[in-house]
Chain A
């Protein structure tokens, strides 16, 4: 007796079985093709960029660079810290030439692991010393300023404090949202430690914890919560509320900048660096130069509403002038190295709850 696959034994069965099979075969064919299309770069010069900045914020500039120079640019987008870990894991075999980080912490991690090739002085010197590494391993591209976002229906701007340090006052109990697990908050705390010392920083963190500051996951979540009135205020980077207002012009959240060079108005830079393992370091350096050029810097000011750091370009009108942010005393190069103890300090303060 013969055993025949039952689904082939009837006409209807055969028809039903073939259609998904054909679909699958098509897909199985298409994938290697797509893969081949992705990997075919030919012999043209090619740069691989790992970018912690999202496509929306940087891709137009990279397109412009490609058009001007004929150098193809492939980009891998991801979270800055994840990409830094990836580069570290790849080690000597990393395909990346340039790393663009959204926050100083991730770049500091790579600098600490000796993965970054110092840029020439004439490139980095376009940017003020506060916004670049002393050893040239990275240079700031644009800046986001720390801010207190508040709900204009719930808070009278006249009652807002002059300094972020005043937020530990009982008057603000339960009112100021924070995101202690978020990279930008951690960078802010690191900067605070550098500028004010560990003791005062720990005091402030404990004060915020004692004030039962509501804890949120990240900047986006805080701005959304302030917008809908869940909490009256929150400590974030300025960029997020700009975005929120673009989405919904009626949103009640407003950015407030601490005056007189308060540490609360710290500038957090996005940083570019060239990898030590890059085989195309000349082209990589060219890209960094391009990103520091006047045109590119104008793009940051106009399109992404950030502080330009080079080329003498003025910041967007909605932001306080760069000179009013007194950050000269902070060496951002130390932020990465201090990362671990900063996290520990935040933990110990009990602010995370």
Chain B
């Protein structure tokens, strides 16, 4: 983020950069996409090389869907009767209801939090900023188990409140349970891109609005939100796709979604494969619909000329702090407290067979290293690999870009198990690639395919935020395509790209099903350790491993995503 600010100032000072005024006029019109210059640019035909590379990348991302199609024909399953049977439609309806509720909630939480932490003087924001993305790293089966342990009848909260004479807690399950848990653990999909976007917006409009007497909530609604819309949508779609693919939370909350149906019938591929295909098709449709709707959305480009405006919250300061504390308390502190309770109970019970807990901590070294290295590489590779597609889909509207977008993004809706089996199939059935089977590179590849959508959405927001006029100016000065990209566009995109890398990083750190199936034998990550502890009902170990996972992810997001932004504050 530091660099983008520098770029802004530097460009503003040089003849190369256009004066700030035209940019702000564009913003004021709220749809620079419809200015004559922009229309010409959008109509510009995509460079054939870019289109070709994008098709190549997208076809790799289509691998899981392609596998499902092949398997369905191979099994000669009656697709139509599967799709229309009530045992498919009811779970599908539940999936969609859950996904819509969770997306709306997560979008609200993520956007509100991003605004408070990047653009206001809410106290303690530096600390909150490190903590805010972290709920994403808590695997949903661990998070849901922690919530159940805390909130269920007879659970920890009831025990704590017992002296106050509180009645029994209601049982947490079904739609409300899944909704709560998934919203709290997925809002970072919205928070990270929106925070990156808001940090790069020019303050001029907000300043004008405030000078004209608008109060902070009105400024937020009429000025900030429209400018952040593309980032909010980017995140909300990810939340939607994650919610329909999740198994851990819906299983523990016993909400019968399509994904749970797929899991419970997985030893009967004639049933589970068509169901997975239905999920893939639904995801493709949703992604395409979102893109079609996005056509009418205002797109705002901006270069930050100076530090973003800090809105003084005034008497809203403490209520706002309360809101931040409430969200982070529920989404992060509560599960971490339960993990700590489990770990502490194990340590305090040396006779319990958990005596090895201290040595366990040492044994977590290798899994921790594996987790960090594989996820870091996957994050960087994902952000780089989807860049051509993001560029194509943001700058050039065409059938190719629409289809590429759909396949890269929709892959995220498939459960990790399906992605893993698809890659097993493709790897082993292609001669040379078979040597990569069950190696670390294939695992990284799986993460990239599975989580590429997250990098893609962040890349798209980043590309969209680069003003075309800068590119045009550089072109007039005779800079080549590559040079323009590296010297003008890339520095401006960095905050958005870092947010995308952060999302992939946190997702890969907790990824379980594909890791279990595709990692080399004896290659353990913190997520597989968590699974193992959960399987053998070893809560102390689960608590300890979970704490290490959260701590490490906090360190990494601070190092790679948050720290740069903080220097500006």
| A residues lining the B interface (CB < 8 Å) | 1, 3-7, 9-10, 13, 16-17, 20, 23-24, 27-28, 30-32, 34-35, 38-39, 48-49, 54-57, 74-79, 81-86, 89-91, 93, 95, 105-106, 109, 181, 215-221, 223-225, 228-230, 239-240, 243-244, 246-249, 339-340, 343, 347, 352
Contacts and interface: CB of A to CB of B under 8 A. Distances in A.
Interface string B140-168: 00000100110011110000000000000
A109 B3 CA distance: 56
Q: Which of A30, A90, A247 has the most CB of B within 10 A?
A: A247
Interface in B490-541: 490-491, 513, 516-517, 519-523, 528, 532, 534-540
B479 interface: yes
Contact of A109 (B267, B369, B421): B267
B439 interface: yes
B313 to A, nearest CB: 30
A191 to B, nearest CB: 17
A244 B520 contact: no
Contact of B256 (A39, A243, A248, A352): A352
Given A31-B377, A35-B520, A54-B532, 16 more contacts: A5-B486, A6-B6, A6-B487, A9-B10, A27-B373, A27-B377, A54-B535, A56-B538, A74-B521, A76-B438, A85-B266, A90-B424, A91-B428, A228-B152, A229-B154, A249-B349
A23 B380 CA distance: 12
Contact of A247 (B268, B517, B538): B538
B538 A38 contact: no
B16 interface: yes
Given A54-B532, A86-B424, A228-B155, A5 B268 contact: no
B560 interface: yes
B154 A343 contact: no
A226 to B, nearest CB: 9
A248 B349 contact: yes
A339 to B, nearest CB: 6
Interface string B254-277: 101000100011111101000000
Contacts of B145: 220-221
B487 A247 contact: no
21 contacts: A3-B483, A6-B3, A16-B3, A30-B373, A31-B377, A39-B439, A54-B532, A75-B521, A75-B522, A77-B528, A78-B516, A85-B266, A86-B517, A93-B428, A218-B251, A221-B145, A228-B153, A243-B537, A247-B538, A248-B349, A343-B268
Q: Which of A31, A75, A223 has the most CB of B within 10 A?
A: A31
A17 B494 CA distance: 11
B537 A217 contact: no
B439 A35 contact: yes
The 10 A-B pairs with the shortest beta carbon distances in the complex, nearest first, are A228-B154, A74-B521, A35-B440, A243-B537, A78-B516, A229-B154, A7-B3, A246-B353, A3-B487, A38-B520
Contacts of B372: 27
Contacts of B513: 82
A330 to B, nearest CB: 20
A231 B120 CA distance: 47
B461 interface: no
Contacts of B148: 221, 224
B354 A27 contact: no
Interface string B1-40: 0110011001000001000000000000000000000000
Interface residues of B, number: 88
Contacts of A56: 532, 536, 538
A249 B537 contact: no
A38 B10 contact: no
B94 interface: no
A31 B479 contact: no
Contacts of B441: 32, 35
A5 B491 contact: yes
Given A5-B486, A6-B491, A240 B6 contact: no
B521 A247 contact: no
A247 B152 CA distance: 19
Nearest to A303: B353
Contacts of B477: 1, 3
Nearest to A9: B10
Interface in B395-430: 417, 420-421, 424-425, 428
Contact of A38 (B417, B440, B516): B440
Given A77-B532, A91-B428, A247-B352, A31 B538 contact: no
Contacts of A89: 421, 424-425, 428
Contacts of B346: 247
A65 B352 CA distance: 27
B102 interface: no
B311 interface: no
B541 to A, nearest CB: 8
Contacts of A4: 487
B145 to A, nearest CB: 8
Contacts of B228: none
Nearest to B567: A16
Contacts of B417: 82, 85
Contacts of A84: 267
B236 to A, nearest CB: 28
Contacts of B536: 54, 56-57, 243
A291 B453 CA distance: 45
A293 B521 CA distance: 25
Contact of B488 (A3, A16, A239): A3
Contacts of A219: 537
B373 A31 contact: yes
Contacts of A74: 520-522
Q: Which of B3, B6, B271, B369 has the most CB of A within 10 A?
A: B3
Contacts of B528: 77
A244 B540 CA distance: 10
B345 A248 contact: yes
Contact of B517 (A13, A82, A220, A248): A82
B128 interface: no
Contact of B491 (A7, A91, A225, A246): A7
Nearest to B487: A3
B521 A249 contact: no
B374 interface: yes
A244 B539 CA distance: 8
A27 B372 CA distance: 9
A52 to B, nearest CB: 9
A84 B272 CA distance: 14
B370 interface: yes
A90 B428 contact: yes
A37 B194 CA distance: 41
B265 to A, nearest CB: 7
B376 interface: yes
A27 B488 contact: no
Contacts of A38: 439-440, 520-523
B3 to A, nearest CB: 4
B299 to A, nearest CB: 24
A1 B520 CA distance: 52
Contacts of A34: 369-370, 373, 440
Contacts of A181: 251, 260, 264
